[in-house]
Amino acid sequence: MRFDTKIGIVVRADLAAWQQLNVTAFLASAVAGGAPETIGEPYEDGSGNTYLAMFRQPVLVYQGDVHELRAVREKAMGREMDVAVYIEEMFKTGHDADNRAAVRAVEADEMELVGVAVHGARNGVDKVLKGLALHP
């Protein structure tokens, strides 16, 4: 199935594996919370157990360096896409309020980005992510 929209997450390649997974999970939750239309219906198994709903479309995960992450954020913001960011300082915080304060404390072009998520029209997201390598 071909979707009209696309979800892409870019994580910094030099992070530890646990950090890449953590950043990816947080950024995916941002897309889910900010774009509820991306979520499908809850699941149910043959025994009647119910499970949480998930994205109704694939999420592609890419890797890049800090310069590529900044370029992705800038291009996506310029196209007025849904954007989520995760900055290095957030590894040192303990909860959501501190995370938001950490982001608020720095200018956009000075953020030490470790991850960026974008959601928008498929062709626009493709242009924003052009040239990046898929995460191995």
Q: So what's the pLDDT on residue 38?
A: 94
User: What percentage of the chain reaches a pLDDT higher than 90?
Assistant: 96
Contact 13, 114 (CB under 8 A): no
Check pLDDT > 80 for residue 106. Answer: yes
Check pLDDT > 80 for residue 1. Answer: no
Q: So what's the pLDDT on residue 113?
A: 97
Buried b (16+ CB within 10 A) or exposed e, 10-31: bbbbebeeebbebbbebbbebb
Contact 128, 76 (CB under 8 A): yes
Contact 117, 9 (CB under 8 A): yes
Q: So what's the pLDDT on residue 2?
A: 84
Q: What pLDDT digit, counting tens, does each position of 50-74 carry? A: 999 999 999 999 999 999 999 999 9
- Whole-model pTM above 0.85? yes
What average pLDDT score do residues 17-37 get?
A: 96
Check pLDDT > 90 for residue 11. Answer: yes
